[in-house]
Each structure stands twice: as structure tokens, then as C-alpha cells.
Structure 1
Amino acid sequence: MLSIIRETPPHVFGVRATGQVTAEDLKSVLLPGLEVLTTQYGEIYYLLVLETPVENFTAGAWFQDMIAGLKHFTKWKKAAVVTDEKTVEKFTDAFSYVAPGEFKGFPLALLDDAIDWLNIKS
């Protein structure tokens, strides 16, 4: 399930992933949130707090995630993935080398640091 995180700066769209994450979650939460962000600001500052193993994302969710990334490919400025899964954190850091914008992984204990990092516009 995806839920919107309200305690972020206005230019940051944040979601929390818990339990199983489905294509419907991405269609009803992530995609509309990104649309609002790009309409209002013309760029994406994104926070994902991953409190569920990535194995809990369905194939449909991964497909919708790919669509969201490609649809707004040039709009990504910063994305922080906050998780205790070290592999996901390292993958997020490496993603900056192949995609526009900056991507950074943070451990769950550093959620406030992730929000602070996103609050600095690049």
C-alpha cells in the first residue's frame, strides 16, 4: 500500500510503502501526485519511504513505476529512497549515473536528513 506523506516541503511529493504495493496503488497515489507536482512546479522532488521489502511490489506495480519514471523522465530533479534494505539504498545511489536528476538512498533512521536534502533545490 502507498500512502502520501504530508510532512514534506510543498515542492516534495512523498509516499510511504507498506505491506503489498500494487499497480492500483501506483495509479491512485503515485501517478496523480507526480502529475500535480509537475503541473505546479515543472520538476520532481520525490521521497519514497520504503517500509516493506521490495519483493512486496507486484509486477504490475513495477510496470506502473517504470511508466511514471519514463513519462516524467526529464522532470526528475531529486529523489530520496529511505529504506533499511542496503541493496536498495546502493542501487538508488547508482541510479544517478544513468538518469537525469540526483537519486540518493538513506537508512530509515535518517528520514529527516532525506527530507532536508530534498528541501535544497538543485
Structure 2
Amino acid sequence: MPLQPIPDLPVATIGFRASGTVTADDYSEVLDPAIRKAVEREEPVNLVYVLGEDFDGYSLGAMAKDLELVKVPRDALGRIALVTDHRMLGEAVHLFGFLIPAQVRVFALANESAALAWVQ
């Protein structure tokens, strides 16, 4: 499975590691339910999303699902840390981060522990 949960995170924090090509089904089966469940707790949810060296990209369907994050209520998300060495994805987040209803920061893979500390 291209999206794997990161274990042992605090209650208000969810995290995933992406590998290979992430599809819309990965969002529907893994990411979306986790975000919905976390949002139901009625406290801001923090997310860490790691795109490792073995991450190949997103399918078109996954990119469309990614845009749905802007539909999440503004007070439902706290912080989102994107951990990646994929330069273009990091730059896209910097350009369009204002559309995401959360504080967003990009971290290099070497700084994953700093990303985890920041979202918590």
C-alpha cells in the first residue's frame, strides 16, 4: 500500500509515509478516513506527511483528492508538515499553501524528527 500510517503519534496527530504512486483509492481508503475520524474528535488535527525517496508521485485522481483538503473546516486542522526532498512538490506547497486550512511547513527528509516535533 502506498500510504502507510506512522505509528505512535499523539491523539491529535496523524501521519503517513507515501511510497510508489499514490492513487485516489489510497486517499479514499487510508487518508480520508483518518482525517474524518480525527476531525470528529472536535480538536485541531495535525498531520505529518512523508514523501520518501521511493515516492514516485500522484495519479491524477489523487491530485484531485488532494485539492479536497481546502474543503476541511478551517478550525479542524492545526498544522501540516510535508517532509520531502522532492523540490517541485515543496515549491507547490509554498505557492498554494494559503489555500490549505492549516499552518503548513515543508521539511527536508533529513529533518523528519523536527517535522514531527513541530506538528505535535
What interval of TM-score do these two structures reach, taking the shorter chain for normalisation? 0.7 to 0.9
Deviations 1:51-94 (A, max 9, x none): 214xx210111112222x03314122210000011232233344
Give the conservation status (yes or no) of the 8 Å contact 2:46–2:80: yes
Larger proportion of helix: 1
- Counterpart CA distance in 2 for 1:95 and 1:8 is 27
Listed as ranges, the matches of 1:1-122 within 5 Å are 1-51=2-52, 52-53=55-56, 56-67=57-68, 69-74=69-74, 75-119=76-120
Shift of 1:98: 4.0
- Counterpart CA distance in 2 for 1:106 and 1:27 is 25
Structure 1 unpaired stretches of 5+: none
Larger proportion of strand: 2
Normalised by the size of structure 2, how large is the TM-score? Answer: 0.85
- Counterpart CA distance in 2 for 1:96 and 1:102 is 8
Instruction: Could you list the structure 1 runs, at least 4 aligned residues long, displaced by more than 6 angstroms after superposition.
Output: none
Deviations 1:5-51 (A, max 9, x none): 11322211101110011111000000000011101243221110012
SS at 2:16's partner residue? strand
Shift of 1:108: 0.5
* Count of residue pairs the alignment pairs up: 116
Residues 39/66 of structure 1: CA separation in 2 closer, same or farther (3 Å cut): same
Give the conservation status (yes or no) of the 8 Å contact 1:95–1:103: no
Shift of 1:115: 0.5
* Percent of pairs with identical residues: 27
Please give the root-mean-square deviation of Cα atoms over the aligned residues, in Å: 1.7
Structure 2 unpaired stretches of 5+: none
Residues 97/60 of structure 1: CA separation in 2 closer, same or farther (3 Å cut): closer
